[in-house]
């Protein structure tokens, strides 16, 4: 199983069937699997804070939902997470393509990419970073379990070392 299939399997194990996202080429491999699988409803948002709102709405009526976005988009979504997911205790797994690491070619992606995890720490949110697929199934599965047990968002940061990234 490759990294993308590992994520899809874990989403299914945790009955997480609504996926809200803003497209990103580096994690297209996983969102295209989701798009082609009738188990899921993949919803395109125009902006990442909207994706958080859509996922939160699904959870509020009893359906588990996750979001996929890039670290720049995490920047767009911070107040939605801080003012909704955290005070309402909404467990939204967030799969974030973490830019700004080894291999980054775009100067504009570095500041938000580098500050994503410190901001998650300031918000008190748990995060895991995947640089390769070693123990990835256990980490993703454990992150999902923790997310639903703690009823707070959990971030799973996927780096270029894992998925190959976008070529300059």
Which residues contribute to the site for another protein (CB under 8 A)?
Answer: 18, 20, 41, 43-47, 49-50, 52-63, 65, 79-80, 83-84, 87-90
We find the least distance from the C-beta atom of residue 129 to another protein, in angstroms, to be: 27
Triad 19, 3, 29: Cα angle to 5°: 55
Q: If you search the block for the tokens 């809200």, which residue do you land on? A: 20
We find the least distance from the C-beta atom of residue 23 to another protein, in angstroms, to be: 13
| Region of 63 on the Ramachandran plot (φ > 0 left; ψ -120 to 50 alpha; else beta) | beta
Q: Which is nearer to another protein, 90 or 157 (CB)?
A: 90
Q: Which is nearer to another protein, 58 or 140 (CB)?
A: 58
Strand order in the sheet with 16-21: 41-44, 16-21, 64-70, 93-98, 154-159, 126-130
We find the least distance from the C-beta atom of residue 20 to another protein, in angstroms, to be: 7
Q: What is the DSSP string of 73-119?
A: HHHHHHHHIIIIIHHHT---EEEEEE-SSTT---GGGHHHHHHHHHH
Q: Which is nearer to another protein, 28 or 63 (CB)?
A: 63
Taking only Cα atoms into account, the Rg of the chain, rounded to an integer number of angstroms, comes to 14
We find the least distance from the C-beta atom of residue 38 to another protein, in angstroms, to be: 15
Q: Which is nearer to another protein, 48 or 104 (CB)?
A: 48
Nearest Cα to Cα of residue 31 among 50, 51, 49: 51
Q: Which is nearer to another protein, 33 or 45 (CB)?
A: 45
We find the least distance from the C-beta atom of residue 60 to another protein, in angstroms, to be: 6
- Residue 124 DSSP code: T
């Amino acid at each position: 199983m490759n990294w993308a299939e590992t994520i899809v399997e874990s989403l299914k194990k945790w009955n997480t069937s609504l996926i809200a996202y803003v497209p990103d080429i580096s994690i297209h491999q996983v969102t295209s699997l989701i798009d082609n699988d009738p188990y899921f409803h993949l919803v395109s948002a125009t902006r990442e804070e909207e994706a958080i709102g859509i996922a939160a709405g699904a959870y509020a009526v009893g359906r588990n939902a996750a979001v996929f976005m890039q670290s720049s988009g995490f920047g767009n979504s911070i107040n939605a997470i801080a003012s909704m997911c955290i005070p309402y205790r909404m467990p939204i797994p967030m799969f974030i393509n973490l830019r700004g690491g080894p291999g980054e070619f775009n100067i504009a992606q570095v500041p938000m990419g580098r500050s994503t995890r410190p901001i998650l720490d300031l918000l008190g949110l748990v995060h895991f970073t995947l640089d390769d697929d070693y123990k990835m199934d256990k980490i993703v599965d454990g992150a999902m379990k923790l997310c639903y047990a703690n009823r707070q968002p959990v971030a799973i940061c996927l780096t270029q070392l894992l998925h190959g990234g976008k070529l300059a």
